[in-house]
Structure 1
Amino acid sequence: MCKKNFSFSMWIKYLEKLEKKNQTNLTEIKNIAKKLNLLNLKSFFFTVGGTNGKGTTCAMLERLLLDSGYQVGLYTSPHLLNFTERVRVNGLYVSEIQYVSAFFAVYSVKSNHSLSYFEFVTLAALFLFKKYPLDVIILEVGLGGRLDATNIIDSNISIITNINIDHTSILGSNRFSIAREKAGIFRKNKISVIGEKNLPISIYQAAKTSQTILKIINRDWRWKEHSNNWDLIHSNIQLYNLPIPQIPLSNAAIALSALFYSNLTINRKILRNSISKVQLQGRFQIISYFPVIILDVAHNFHAASYLAKKINQIDIQGKLYVIFGVLKDKDILSIISPLKDKVYYWYASLLPINRSATMNQLKKNLPAQNTFFFHSIDHAWKSLKKAINKKDVVLVFGSFITVSEFISIKNKEI
């Protein structure tokens, strides 16, 4: 069938069948973008990279800018429940009809170039943004930075939230090489805001080569948490007694720091009112209280460590149960280690995708004495429901897919 007649669902199926590529060719992607006139957008661009916290940092930037009266586009990934979550314009999701138009536009000019799922979708997102008079566009890096499709854009401000071990088969097995890949978003004479306190030397090397202007935490800006508020001390501004956000404070702080380095006009009173509004699905999201059910997309050691700290802050009167699903390319032992001593029983499950960790992987890495194994999140939840009482806490984590599956199951119960 002619792609011109494809429906939204047909396009999604087409995208999901696109072959994965071992190496991204940014030159090819740029050539396609030029044909669509996507490289000359007049908006102010933020590109947000890092190992963890990219989504929450983007959400904080978006909220503060929208509340300050700017026209804002946001491109983020992956989605949790619906593909349309990936692009927002002025806080609203773009319609499926608009996506269809964007997909066909990209397909029409790509010629014989092969595009991966993420490359195709990134070009479509920029095509969607081109249709609006946006003041600011926020791009979340999908993976790494240097070879990520978002890197075809020369951003005004680059952000690296943190640098930790993840995606080692692609980015390298140590922080030096991972940092070098993430530093690929640096731009000459433009500011790069860094939230990582323990910087590998490769960041400084990349900054020197690219001639970017580094603004580093605890050197050029810092934040300090108090019992009921926090402060941001910054090269350009000092803010005291800020409200505690619902997202990790480190992500709120780097978003604010980047904003004040951008020189975009932000009303301080509006800023104070906006900080505590920001929340994201699947980021320590509590969806029930009797029992407490917490959803978190943590899928590496750093994120799981933060999750463990949040769990410690809860007054658990019963027992902690975990529904856990993970992808096969993850270091499962490092993900479960921060929570291992807190969990009463693990309910480990396969995920409904080819990238799921195998049953053998799960059995090899999870403690045999207190783990049950299942072939689906649905079966895990049905079994767990019979064991818990209202004082217990249920944590669902390990992957975006794990959380997405659980939300879908709970929605059917309503």
Structure 2
Amino acid sequence: MYKKNFSFSMWIKYLERFKKKNKTNLTEIKNIAKKLNLLNFKSFFFTIGGTNGKGTTCAMLERLLLDSGYQVGLYTSPHLFDFIERVKINGIYLTEMQYVSAFLNIDSITLNYSLSYFEFVTLSALFLFKQYSLDVIILEVGLGGRLDATNIIDSDVSIITNIGIDHTSILGSNRLSIAREKAGIFRENKIAVIGDKDIPNSIYEIANKTKTILKIINKDWSWKENSYTWSFIHSAIKLYNLPIPKIPLSSAAIALSALFYSNLKINTKILKSSISKVKLDGRFQILSYFPYIILDVAHNFHASLYLSKKINEIDIQGNIYSIFGVLKDKDISSIIAPLKEKVDYWYSAILPTDRSASIHQLENHLPIQNTFFFNNVDDAWNHLRKILTKNDMVLVFGSFMTVSEFISIKNKEIE
């Protein structure tokens, strides 16, 4: 296929047709990266893995580093609205033409290789980073860790935010096996920050095998929430009366811990203002207060449990409605379990992808009473908005796609 004249949108459509690999190893992607000189960076690397909280931890790391004067590259996934959200240089998204240039360069080397969508995109991100003189690069693991494309890079500090049950068909059916996959990002004599309070033995096994230095929550560092502030305790520093961030406190604390273990110099004088700045769309994002409209990309049990706890903090006088859309390869029962008794009415929608759970699949998991099914998020919202009162709550969750669809609908209402 002749791709020299491909536009950005044509490239995205082309990449989306890449087939998922049945068996993955990093040999091919490493060979390509070596040919493009993408394994030889002078930058300091953070690699962030875990089941939940990766994106918010990345956002906090990025903000603290930028405010301390570093040149920072950030690679995250998946995107919420637009593909260009995946890479930022010093807090700014790149142009479509920069991506096209990266795609062409990667494609010129990959003709004799078979790459997945995520592998190609990760190589493109590294190529884009190579065009800048960056002090620090932050990589968010896409899936697992051991076989993830980001793992071709030897990070200076690795992070595991937490270990929950998700992607069981790929990572394993229990926390022991999932943790083993996530620990694949560990590196010899380098620090790994662990934010999970109940660490599976496989983490210790891999750390011993790789001679990784573990820094564990409530053992080597800790945090505590107070009424209106929180504190962070670390061997190098003690911080009190920190402002409550707009992201989960656990993510903010993990980011702080990783930074202080990195020995990168952080401007503690502006730390409080930096923490207050961080927010991320689709993470307990409140669009409206009368009625409450809350968006969250929660798509596994632990994320839904966090969402449930946050809802408990709000005094709702009316009904709680949910616009729920989910992918068919997810554990739907465990996603809805923490919210099953809280949501009064379920407005369940099919997502615009062949990976969406069908109505039949949703019927097997959602309550028989007070559940309504729709062909898309738009229809669900149009039916729901007619009966809402200012005392109600609408909870939009289940997938990145559910949230992005809903925001697109709300944006069109404003236009």
1:87-106 matched pairs, under 5 angstroms: 87-106=87-106
5+ long unaligned stretches in structure 2: none
Matching residue's letter, 1:140: E
The answer as to 2:10 corresponding to 1:10 is yes
1:410 positional shift: 0.9
* Runs of 4 or more consecutive aligned structure 1 residues displaced over 4 Å after TM superposition: none
User: Does 2:262 match 1:253?
Assistant: no
1:68 is displaced (CA, Å) by 0.5
2:342 alignment counterpart: 342
1 CA distance for matches of 2:225 and 2:413? 40
Query: Quick one: distance in 2 between partners of 1:325 and 1:91?
Result: 30
**Aligned letter for 1:40?**
N
- Work out the CA distance in 2 between the residues paired with 1:25 and 1:10: 28
Separation in 2, partners of 1:157, 1:213:
10
Percent of aligned positions with the same letter in both sequences? 76
**Amino acid in the other structure paired with 1:368:** I
Where does residue 164 of structure 2 map in the other structure?
A: 164
Query: Aligned AA for 2:210?
Result: S
Partner of 2:327: 327
- Normalised by the length of structure 2, the TM-score is 0.99
Shifted more, 106-115 versus 144-153: the winner is 106-115
Quote the Cα distance in structure 1 between the aligned partners of 2:342 and 2:19: 41
SS in 2 for 1:240: strand
- Give, in whole Å, the separation in 2 of the partners of 1:207 and 1:69: 32
Match of 1:118 in 2: 118
- Counterpart in the other structure of 1:404: 404
Letter in 2 for 1:98: Q
Question: How big is the shift at 1:23?
Answer: 2.0
Q: Deviations over 1:320-378 (max 9, x none)?
A: 10000001011111111111111110000111101101111101100011100111111
Deviations 1:15-63 (A, max 9, x none): 0000110222201100000111000011000000000000000000000
1:377 aligns with 2:377: yes
For 1:314, the equivalent position in structure 2 comes to: 314
Give, as a single letter, the amino acid of the residue that structure 2 aligns with 1:13: K
The equivalent of 1:24 in structure 2 is: 24
Q: For residue 147 of structure 1, report the CA deviation from its aligned partner.
A: 0.1
Q: Identify which range, 338-347 or 133-142, moves more after superposition.
A: 338-347
Query: Structure 1 length as normaliser, TM-score?
Result: 0.99
The residue type paired with residue 280 of structure 1 is L
Q: Distance in 1 between matches of 2:348 and 2:368?
A: 11
**d(CA) in 2 for partners of 1:373 and 1:147?**
37
Distance 1:4 1:86 in 2: 23
After TM superposition, the structure 1 = structure 2 runs for residues 53-132 of structure 1, keeping only pairs within 5 Å, are 53-132=53-132
288-297 or 38-47, larger mean C-alpha shift: 288-297
Deviates more, 1:50-59 or 1:379-388: 379-388
- Shift in Å, 1:291: 1.4
SS at structure 1 position matched to 2:58: helix
Residue 65 of structure 1 and its aligned partner are, at CA, apart by 0.3
**Aligned partner of 1:42: which letter?**
K
Q: CA deviation at 1:150?
A: 0.1
**Residue in 2 that maps onto 1:393:** 393
What's the RMSD between the two structures over aligned residues? 0.7
Return the letter of the residue paired with 2:248.
P
Map 1:283-302 to 2 at 5 A: 283-302=283-302
Partner in structure 2 of residue 243 of structure 1 = 243
* Residue type at the aligned position of 1:407: I
Offset, 1:259: 0.1
Stretch of structure 1 that moved more, 312-321 or 257-266 = 312-321
The number of residue pairs the alignment matches comes to 414
Residue deviations 1:170-205 (CA, integer Å, cap 9, x gap):
000000000000000000000000000100000000
Partner of 2:363: 363
Question: Which stretch has the larger CA shift, 118-127 or 313-322?
Answer: 313-322
SS state of the match for residue 176, structure 1? helix
SS of 2:277 mapped into structure 1: coil
- What is the alpha-carbon distance in structure 2 between the residues aligned to residue 141 and residue 218 of structure 1? 24
